[in-house]
Amino acid sequence: MVALLAPLVLLLALGRPAISGAQATEGAAAAPHRRFEYKYSFKGPHLVQADGTVPFWVHTGNAIPSADQIRITTSLKSQKGSVWTKTKSIFQYWDVEVTFRVTGRGRIGADGLAIWFTEEQGLEGPVFGAADKWNGVGIFFDSFDNDAKKNNPGVVVVGNNGKLLYDHQNDGSTQALASCQRDFRNKPYPVRVKITYYQKTLTVLINNGFTPDKEDYEFCAKVEDMVLPSQGYFGVSAATGGLADDHDVLSFLTFQLTEPGKEAPTPDAEIPQKDKEKYQEEFEHFQQELDKKKEEFQREHPDVQGQPGNYYGGAWIENKMNDWKCAADDVFETVSDRELRQIFEGQNRIHLEIKQLNRQLDMILDEQRKYVSAVTEEIAKRGAGFPGQQGQVFQQEIETVVKTQEEVIRQVKEIRNSVTDALRSISGAQHAGSAGVYETTQHFNDIKEHLHVVKRDIEHLVQRNTPSSEKQKCPELPPFPSCLSTMHFFIFVAVQTVLFIGYVMYRSQQEAAAKKFF
Ligand SMILES: [Ca+2]
Ligand SMILES: [Ca+2]
């Protein structure tokens, strides 16, 4: 089994350069520095404070924060709610990971959920529970099909400079910068969306809630050359209409992205002096409380006094024992456990690689679509405009498009090769189940092949030694010794014959004499 895993790993290793090559072309520059921003994030299990507020966030309308999620709207008619960061972000590039659920008993739900990055908080309004004429971007998870084009639930990215009124009747399709059709309602696992704004490109990736795998993202939409306010509020809003869904946000995690080479401001410098003092005061207060509690506990339980950290006596020791036991279990694993783990890890890697390829293919397809639509538009424009001026400029554009297409085809080929490799390795892994039979067959095949090689070599040698039709002559025999002539030979034979006959007669006489005694 382990022997079978070796080629699998080798195949994976071989498949890798093509992928990393594709990655390199995809994200021309090196990966950005990524830092978690707690002030623009929330996550369970202790999401809400005692007073019902979410630290660093404000909520409005029908939004209800609880310990592990914020219910932006409940599944009642005509609800509106939203949550917004209290302060503006001070970083240019970011990515946010939002986990949410949209659930309802109806086959169709309404209206949907929106994720925002805007110059001002859109606390209340008609666009999925938030204000219209926003300056920034909204990513809309639109459940209800207002324009009856059968393309909902869907995801639409709409940018706004603060002047545009949202086109609700057409589900924003007239204003969409990018979109994709995804059903995000009533999924077994929470839906995850990852929105990245980096180097003026906004990318939306979605995990459709079919797997619990957190990194299982699919490509949804990409907007290039997008200019967003350099500072803004993050927010989530939702609304219901005649139909209703529960819109629950489980987590909102924000990361600051810094281009390589540019220094991210240190977290310490960002905290104002006033806040620092407040936190220090709070910390000291908690410290005093803790000391007080410790003293009380020791007064009430004088029998468990002893080593520092031993406040919980027996329970502590028991926990420690369990820890050691777990550690021992971790250290030892059986051979089959290890093999299973290796297979599992191998499969996981293949799965991830294929996902990655899939994502890249989606991106390429998206670009292709853009080129095709650009070319079509251009042709239409030229056709309608001045046919006399079609000349050189048009020719150049066509050439550029053709070159780009060739590049795309080359990349697709590379990806196809690595997919083939990956598939081959998968089939290798699947055969691992019937390892015994497979191994034996393989062994015999190897032997057969070797025999063929040997046979071929011999034939080759034979052919080389007889280059033309001339046949190899046997070496000449040495001259026969002349000491024995024909005459001598016959005499010798005659003497032998006489002696043999004499012996036979003598034997028969002996036997006859012996028989007389019985
Ligand atoms: Ca709609
Ligand atoms: Ca629609």
Which CATH number covers residue 209? 2.60.120.200
Dmax (CA) of the chain: 145
Question: Looking at the domain assignment, is residue 164 inside a domain?
Answer: yes
- Does 253 share its domain with 346? no
Distance 148 CA to ligand 2 centre (A): 5
Question: Looking at the domain assignment, is residue 121 inside a domain?
Answer: yes
Question: Looking at the domain assignment, is residue 323 inside a domain?
Answer: no
Per-residue pLDDT at 206:
96
- Does 12 share its domain with 63? no
Per-residue pLDDT at 269:
56
Per-residue pLDDT at 15:
39
Return the bridge partners of 343, or none. none
- Does 430 share its domain with 343? yes
> Which residue from 332, 333, 307 is spatially nearest to 320, judged by alpha carbons?
307
Distance 159 CA to ligand 2 centre (A): 18
Ligand that lies nearest to the alpha carbon of residue 158, given by its number in the listed order: 1
Distance 471 CA to ligand 1 centre (A): 91
Distance 145 CA to ligand 1 centre (A): 5
Ligand that lies nearest to the alpha carbon of residue 166, given by its number in the listed order: 1
Model confidence at 473, in pLDDT bands (50, 70, 90)? Answer: low
Chain segment 8-44, per-residue pLDDT in tens? 333 333 333 333 433 444 444 578 999 999 999 999 8
Distance 255 CA to ligand 1 centre (A): 30
- Does 207 share its domain with 96? yes
Question: Looking at the domain assignment, is residue 292 inside a domain?
Answer: no
Distance 215 CA to ligand 1 centre (A): 28
**Structure-block tokens of residue 35:** 């830092």
Residue found under tokens 């209206």: 111
- Does 113 share its domain with 6? no
Per-residue pLDDT at 298:
83
**Structure-block tokens of residue 91:** 């970083």
Ligand that lies nearest to the alpha carbon of residue 154, given by its number in the listed order: 2
Burial of residue 493 (number of CB atoms within 10 Å: 0-12, 13-18, 19+): exposed
Judged against a pLDDT cut of 90, whether residue 178 lies above it is answered with: yes
**Structure-block tokens of residue 352:** 């991830």
Distance 146 CA to ligand 2 centre (A): 5
As for how many domains the chain has, the answer is: 2
* DSSP strand pairing (70-73 vs 246-258): antiparallel
Cβ 13 vs Cβ 19: under 8 Å: no
Domain boundary among 259, 277, 299: 259
225 or 467, which is more confident: 225
Cα–Cα distance, 224 to 199 (Å, whole number) = 9
- Does 151 share its domain with 106? yes
Question: Looking at the domain assignment, is residue 512 inside a domain?
Answer: no
- Does 243 share its domain with 201? yes
Give the residue numbers spanning the domain of 43. Answer: 32-259
- Does 253 share its domain with 367? no
Question: Looking at the domain assignment, is residue 271 inside a domain?
Answer: no
Domain boundary among 233, 259, 285: 259
Task: Supply the DSSP string of 127-140, one letter for each residue.
Answer: BTTB-SS-EEEEEE
Question: Looking at the domain assignment, is residue 234 inside a domain?
Answer: yes
Ligand that lies nearest to the alpha carbon of residue 147, given by its number in the listed order: 2
Query: What predicted TM-score, i.e. pTM, was given to this entire model?
Result: 0.54
Mean pLDDT score across all residues of the chain: 80
Chain segment 317-371, per-residue pLDDT in tens? 555 556 555 454 555 566 777 778 788 888 888 888 888 888 889 999 998 988 9
CB atoms within 10 A of CB 97: 20
Q: How many CA atoms lie within 13 A of 369 on its CB side?
A: 10
Distance 76 CA to ligand 1 centre (A): 17
Cα–Cα distance, 346 to 355 (Å, whole number) = 14
Cβ 37 vs Cβ 254: under 8 Å: yes
Cα–Cα distance, 42 to 97 (Å, whole number) = 11
150 or 305, which is more confident: 150
Ligand that lies nearest to the alpha carbon of residue 142, given by its number in the listed order: 1
> Which residue from 479, 108, 63 is spatially nearest to 249, judged by alpha carbons?
63
Q: Is 150 left (phi over 0), alpha (psi -120 to 50) or beta?
A: left
- Does 79 share its domain with 208? yes
CB atoms within 10 A of CB 55: 13
- Does 387 share its domain with 446? yes
Distance 252 CA to ligand 1 centre (A): 23
Return the bridge partners of 116, or none. 138, 235
Distance 150 CA to ligand 2 centre (A): 6
Domain boundary among 217, 232, 259: 259
Burial of residue 367 (number of CB atoms within 10 Å: 0-12, 13-18, 19+): middle
Question: Looking at the domain assignment, is residue 40 inside a domain?
Answer: yes
